[in-house]
Amino acid sequence: MIRLLLTFLITLAFIGCSAEPDKVPKNTSSLRVLPVSEVEWEALNPARGDMSPKAGTLWGDRNGEVPTGFLAKFVDGFSSPPHIHNVTYRAVVIAGGIHNDDPEAVKMWMGNGSFWTQPKGETHITAAKGDTNIALVEIDQGPYLVRPPSQAFDSGERPVNVDASNIVWLSLPQAKTPVDAAHIAYLWGTFAGSEWNGSFLKFAPGFEGVLTSEGAVFHGVVIRGSMKYDSSQTGHLSPGSYFGAQGPTTLRIASSADQETIIYIRTNGPYQLQQSN
């Protein structure tokens, strides 16, 4: 873990300083925004009929062969039968409580901001409790399929379950204020060159800044709180909302004044955060 954190600190290209609005470069790519209120829901596993969780695609196509991110919604008390998937997935809890583990494991309920991975071929169950239970799920390549335990296999990967209370947050140096206004949590991948990576960014209430991504692909999902992606916005994106772009992009972001905001970022290049005056 120490070596990973040292590597992260060396390779991550974050700058905590005052941004000059008139010198912020314009976006070099078209931004796509999908508020959670506009997500289209369908059955995640149609074979289960009314018992199936719901799925709402944010990017990609889980039935195709491309990288994909989607929201999974579960009813209170949901518990799947033991099963496997043909592909490995990563997931973040957005709302409610989610349990994902070996069928015989004691329930470990993960709340908002928790992160887990499910290796392909490994038998497991997924359960949920709460009035609203939503998770962000992402795969590097589809299709995303459900198979019976009789087809289980060992891929060599091992699962990760990290409760929100165990996420390691690193402060970003602030040039204009001694107060820590933004933090980052490394989740997976590397931040060198064009390698894929996933991370959390956390902003204090009322934070305003400029996020600049150099990657060829950028995906962002609001996990907690709410945020603006442009200073001209009148409203905020709530948890489960998506914003992303193809090619380098620059966003003026701001969190709501009364609560902290956490966003999940998936990209294949470095990105920088500058705090505004």
Domain end (from 108, 138, 164): 164
Domain boundaries, position 21: 2-35+166-276
Whether 66 has a pLDDT exceeding 50, the answer reads yes
82 and 135 co-located in one domain: yes
- Domain boundary among the residues 143, 164, 185 is at 164
How high is the pLDDT of residue 86? 97
* Residue 23 reports pLDDT greater than 90: no
User: Residue 26 pLDDT > 60, yes or no?
Assistant: no
Q: What is the pLDDT at residue 173?
A: 61
Give the residue carrying structure tokens 């995303």: 144
SS (H, E, C) 192-251: CCCCCEEEEEEECCCCEEEEEECCCEEEEEEEECCEECCCCCCCCECCCCEEEEECCEEE
Distance CA 268, CA 192 (A): 9
- 127 compared with 180, residue with greater pLDDT: 127
**Domain end marker among 121, 149, 164:** 164
Say whether both 238 and 159 belong to one domain: no
CATH value at residue 93: 2.60.120.10
Total domains in the fold of the chain: 2
Q: How confident is the model at residue 25 (pLDDT cuts 50, 70, 90)?
A: very low
Write down the pTM of the prediction: 0.88
Exposure class string for 203-236: b at 16+ Cβ within 10 A, else e: beeebbbbbbbbbebbbbbbbbbbbbbeeeeeeb
